[in-house]
Amino acid sequence: MIKFVFKILIFIAALLCLAFLFFQIKGILLAPSLENDLQSKVCYKETCFFVELAKTKQELEKGLMYRFSLPKDQGMLFVFGQEGIYPFWMRNTLIPLDIIWINSLGEVVFIAENSQPCLEGAECLAINPGALAKYVLEINAGIIEELGITPGSKLDLYY
């Protein structure tokens, strides 16, 4: 009888350990999209995207790398200290993206539609906007066309 109770206790302890590991792994996988609770947003006309902010050197370098998906109403807003020419590439980005360069007035200065993933080991070319921008917005591919965003369009940034 004691051996039976002992086996049940070991089984329960093992289940608790597995549950703990599951929630730890789930938290790690979900953490990137919840870093700033998506309280910031970028709007074009009536459509808003809840955005994760990338402001630190590490956040700016990592961007949306290694993300398996991105909800349609979400994105990442890269916030640079000053206007400049900021080339982007798709290294280790797993999903196609539309990339929008925005100046300090909220005007779209350059777009890169349907930028395709560039995985480890492949030659990844930089997308060079050739225009001064203070912000860069990454959203799911196809949305620029769907909304009719073009250079000169005005976006409202709330962060």
CATH number for position 97 = 2.60.120.1140
User: Would you state the pLDDT for residue 73?
Assistant: 98
pLDDT reported for residue 28: 44
In angstroms, the Cα distances linking 58 to 44, 91, 94 are 28, 15, 19
Residue among 37, 38, 60 at smallest CA distance from 49: 38
Give residues with Cβ within 8 angstroms of 35, minimum separation 6: 52, 53
Q: What is the pLDDT of residue 115?
A: 98
pLDDT at 10: 72
Statement to judge: residues 20 and 58 lie in one domain: no
pLDDT at 13: 62
Q: What is the pTM of this model?
A: 0.77
Q: Which domain holds residue 18?
A: 1-33
Residue 52 burial by Cβ neighbours in a 10 Å radius (0-12, 13-18, 19+): buried
Q: How confident is the model at residue 122, as a pLDDT?
A: 86
Together in a domain, 94 and 153:
yes
User: In terms of domains, do 49 and 127 share one?
Assistant: yes
pLDDT of 14: 64
Report the chain (159 residues): mean pLDDT per 10 consecutive residues.
67 59 48 61 98 97 96 98 97 97 99 94 92 99 99 98
Do 59 and 92 reside in the same domain of the chain? yes
Do residues 21 and 51 share a domain? no
Say whether both 48 and 121 belong to one domain: yes
| 81 & 154 share domain | yes
